[in-house]
Amino acid sequence: MSFTYRAAGRSLIFLFLGCVCVQADFSFCNAGQSGNQISATYTLSSERIPVPGQFSASLQVQLTTPINDNIRAEVQIRRKVFYWSVVVPCVGGGQGIGSCSYSDVCALLEGVTETCNGQPCRCPLGPATFTFSNLQFSTDYLHPLIRRVARNTSFYIKIKFYSKSTGALLSCLKTQLNTSG
């Protein structure tokens, strides 16, 4: 299956991915605290995401609370540089990639043409488990400068979901992705 999306839809997938099969979980960065109403696991087609190149992924997202127009997300991506990590800036604003804030998760879903368990991926969603298999991605479209700094490194990704009305933390997920090139 090829995953078709507009530019905003790309942000949604990178929100969950931000790249032999590698099975990985997002771990909870607020373990032991209330929240954790959104969880995810993913499988990548290779141990390292090729930059430039193509790869495939499968993603499973479990919602224990409905996603409606009341959800915002904050993504922090840090790139390993020697013994430190530096924040990857947001490129493209609220629909871009990098360390961005997304004021309306449902607006990102408008760009997704794939279905969620046979239904259009539109809010409200859940509570349910959604599985996306064999999603095809390419890092070839990245600007040459971005490709240069994205090769042969690790990225640490943290995603926080909040209720816009109460400000309550719904979930905090973190993972690490490695690249080659």
Q: Does 146 or 1 have the greater pLDDT score?
A: 146
- What domains are defined for the chain? 7-180 (2.70.220.10)
- What pLDDT score does 24 carry? 54
Question: Looking at the chain, how many residues does it have?
Answer: 181
For 50-105, the pLDDT digits (tens) are 999 998 888 888 888 777 777 899 999 999 988 899 998 888 766 677 899 988 88
Name the nearest CA neighbour of 25 among 48, 51, 44. Answer: 44
For 6-37, the pLDDT digits (tens) are 344 444 444 444 333 344 557 777 655 555 78
Q: Which amino acid is at 96?
A: G
Q: Does 172 or 126 have the greater pLDDT score?
A: 172
How many whole angstroms separate alpha carbon 177 and alpha carbon 24? 10
How many whole angstroms separate alpha carbon 141 and alpha carbon 64? 35
Name the nearest CA neighbour of 29 among 62, 74, 94, 84. Answer: 74
Q: Are 40 and 173 in contact (CB under 8 A)?
A: yes
